[in-house]
Structure 1
């Protein structure tokens, strides 16, 4: 009799006479047929009396199979008897219970349901029925897990993000044995930006995902890889007993990143520079270790052979100096400690002085003369590159006004080495306003940019350079022969000339070196570009450049950098 439908029993007890109670029950039964939530009505012992279609769907059983079965035996659950006994105890004391229950569905997957139970008592206060409402929240739970994953991981590569790296490191470092150390590797991809700019962000993203996969293969249990910047990753390794073991493993990592990544029909090689700091030797806080590893990474990037550097006392000294200089660069601007020197550049054919190159210097009150390669990284840390660029333009423009009054008619070439990142910001176009405010024309100036930088051809940089050229400013590609250089890219760059790097003119030049110089000069001549050779120091070098058709030269053979007062009276002269 208990396996009859509950509502059928109610109807039988009323004798089939329609009344308000019967109509309400019939209406309730109809509503149950269409509701999305599964509804089950049980007797006082938890045996099923009535179910709706949604409950059958959740349990993956039909109604005839469910009737008379105990609720805990309805499906293959993941909970033991103790779990259900706790639910029953809660029901007895609080009249209701709700929470998650899990079962294995027909596909072998875990399905999560939200179950609500409520006791129904009769007039005597005894339990007559138990009503359950169930809803499948598997998709909701999956969404929550996905959101949690995205909150702690990089959406592109699937690696940890900076926030999760920090929390993970704090947990793992607290659990280390007293003699155990961690190695934190700061990885900067060396040639990723040209790929991203040259082939598009779609290709760049696929390269990043491939390289992130290689990094994950280089990490073991209880280790982590995180992406903390556009092309910057951090790895944390454990079980590092010896320095030689660490460098051997890091070497394999660099080799893995050097291997080409195939995207469509392209084979793209990136490579990386790696800086390493150690816990607890170099610090206890992860932010400190990140800063030290970043410093070591820049050391590795400056080397021609090894791409791996371990933070040491020398790195620490350089970091301290860089931190101190970052604080003092602002004072240098305010206290007029910066100044410009001017390197003459002459034509070989007529021995005229078409331009002088403005070179930024810092007269430090303690350190003496500090060169740009030392203090520009510090200025970048202090966020002052933009102000420095403006200062250089303003100072050079004011100097040109003074020289014009003295009858000098040459141009000033602004060496933007180290300041190029500012040029990618469209706000740098205000430099043109700085020139005009001083009463000079942008056509009286040249800009020199390193080939490593301009060869990337970023869209924002091209817009800036085009604006300068439209204003009449001449653009030179600097360091040609030393940095990144592509012949097919050269013809599409908005430039007017190239400057051969001083490294091409070594005393030990062989036939190959001469052939490179000759080829570069011939290519520039074909493209109608002005050619300048830097670092010319000997008559032999001068003769070679004349032979191959170089148009202009600068270097010690011409003159060392001059103070502003000597430029108007400088007389160009070269020995034949």
Structure 2
């Protein structure tokens, strides 16, 4: 058999069948059109030149919730309860006449009373003389797509947990709002920071913490009308913007209402959790016209409220602005200060309470500013942080102190240690290995250094902080908890902290004559003895204080009664004694 004939036979037959089908379609082209209309998902409607329905496909009946008999002969604008006015349809007709097509959205309520959105395309069909013969419409339900877009837009501009606006939306909303304000209109920006939220997360878990945040955000939202805005800009930080603020008294009342809502305990399961908050307030346009400045000012005021205000509300004012200006000035001067060696160290002896023997020296950092005179760390550490030079400054302190210690060891044969206060540093970011190497390069032993850290800071007990402290102690350094008696302090966690001693803050001795103050000091001494950690008392100014500490077993004392802070050259004669 000839295979070539077989191979060519099938294609010839296929072509013949295809040709027959094309002839059939040419004879009845509307049959194919109807088949397509019956199976596509989009609704198709054919109207006469006046907009009356002539024919529809099944998808159009489904979308309009009407059958073919109900639709034919009805004007397209009367098919369902439209949300548009007649003017809207007149505009569609005008554009259709001008451009011969129109595309847009139409809305109406379905039988369930749900608002639906349809994407509609209209085209004019003209005859050979250019007269409109038919109007062809194609319609599609885009309600779900619109809902999805709306949800995505909401998620992009709102906090997913609480539903409050996020920082992005706050910035955009504020810009739009202020562009419409007159010169006599003002705004108040309230920066709210929850006071006791971290212990909720630590003790009950983040799931419970999330429920607390949602409830507190809901309460805040109920206190704000449609002209204001609530935004969550941090883990436990909220911002409220109130337009049309009138008097300070009215604003104070409103702020107190908000804080009252946050003080009410939140019930989550079997728990009733009390959080509370602190608030700082800044004003537009008096204190700034851009949102970032107002946020910074309100944040500063909030920290003032958290530390000093009994009612937990603080308005940003002239004193805070002056402090901010000073900080900005010092930040600008900081790099030059390091280059020009404007920083210097003083040393204050720590003496044994029992026999007044010199135990160690605490390093005290000072800045000899060319215009402002001698500045203390509390005045410039925030400026150093703003200038990004905090760790560079700490490195300088360690090198300077190490060099001085080496000199005293070689020439005065003094074997005591150096204590460095690291309060103000984010210790989690401290690189321990380079620091140890730095001290070894100066030919001193890291074990000769004691690091002092603030009680507020150490009580965080974060995992990175614990790791850093463990590395420091492994290198031989001692860790002391300073300023005990001021700020946050938890007796329960004291035994769990990786520390070697504590330093009693001078505030405990400011009212030493009171029996209560003496009881507090005595309790801390007894607790420290039971835990096996040493105690150094700071700010000892009178013989009575020294005698009391001696009787109750305090390890060391520090204060002007025994030895004031001294420059390195002054210490030479002191050490020789």
TM over 0.5: yes
Flag the 1:35–1:313 CA change in 2: closer, same or farther, 3 A.
same
SS at match of 1:560: coil
- Rounded to whole Å, the distance in 2 between the matches of 1:429 and 1:223 is 51
Which residue number corresponds to residue 446 of structure 1? 450
Structure-1 residue corresponding to 2:417: 411
Contact 1:198/1:456, CA 8 A, preserved across alignment: no
Question: Aligned ranges for residues 26-425 of structure 1 at < 5 Å?
Answer: 26-176=31-181, 179-196=184-201, 200-303=205-308, 305-349=310-354, 351-406=356-411, 407-419=413-425, 421=426, 423-425=427-429
Secondary structure at the aligned position of 1:354 is classed as: strand
The residue number in structure 1 matching 2:526 is 522
**Residue pair 1:346, 1:572 contacting (<8 A) in 2 also:** no
- In structure 2, do the counterparts of structure 1 residues 540 and 63 end up closer, same or farther at CA, with 3 Å as the change threshold? farther
Q: Which moved more, 1:537-546 or 1:410-419?
A: 537-546
| Residue of 470, 473, 476 corresponding to 1:469 | 473
Equivalent residue in structure 1 for 2:535, among 522, 531, 534:
531
Please say which of residues 93-102 and 120-129 is displaced more in the overlay. 120-129
User: What do residues 507-538 of structure 1 show as CA deviations (whole Å, max 9, x unaligned)?
Assistant: 34544433333333333233322222222222
Match of 1:540 among 541, 544, 553: 544
The offset of 1:114, in angstroms, is 0.8
Distance in structure 2 (CA, Å) of the matches to 1:139 and 1:156:
23
TM-score for the superposition, normalised by structure 2: 0.86
CA contact (8 A) 1:351 1:572 kept: no
**Offset, 1:500:** 1.9
Q: Which runs of 5+ in 2 are unaligned?
A: 1-21
Gaps of 5+ in 1: 1-16
> Could you give the per-residue CA deviations for residues 65-114 of structure 1, whole angstroms, max 9, x where no partner exists?
43443332222221122322322332233222110111112332211111
> What's the Cα RMSD here?
3.0
Paired residue secondary structure (1:374): helix
Q: Report deviation, 1:115.
A: 1.0
Q: Within 2, Cα distance between the matches of 1:200 and 1:424? A: 23
Q: Deviations over 1:197-251 (max 9, x none)?
A: 5655444444433333333333334222333444443333244333333323323
Give the number of equivalent residue pairs: 555
Deviations along 1:382-432, one digit per CA (max 9) or x if unpaired, are 22222222222222222222233232222212101222x2x1225576433
Q: Match for 1:458 among 457, 462, 467?
A: 462
Q: Which moved more, 1:37-46 or 1:374-383?
A: 37-46
| 8 Å Cα contact 1:198-1:457 kept in structure 2 | no
C-alpha displacement of 1:458: 1.9
Instruction: State the secondary structure of the residue aligned to 1:19.
Output: helix
Decide whether the 8 Å contact of 1:502 with 1:536 is kept in 2: yes
User: What does residue 485 of structure 1 align with?
Assistant: 489
User: How high is the TM-score relative to the length of structure 1?
Assistant: 0.86
Q: Please list, as runs of the form range in 1=range in 2, the aligned pairs for 1:539-558 lying within 5 A after superposition.
A: 539-558=543-562
SS at match of 1:424: helix
What is residue 7 of structure 1 aligned with on the other side? none
Alpha-carbon distance in 2 for matches of 1:253, 1:519: 39
Partner in structure 1 of residue 5 of structure 2: none
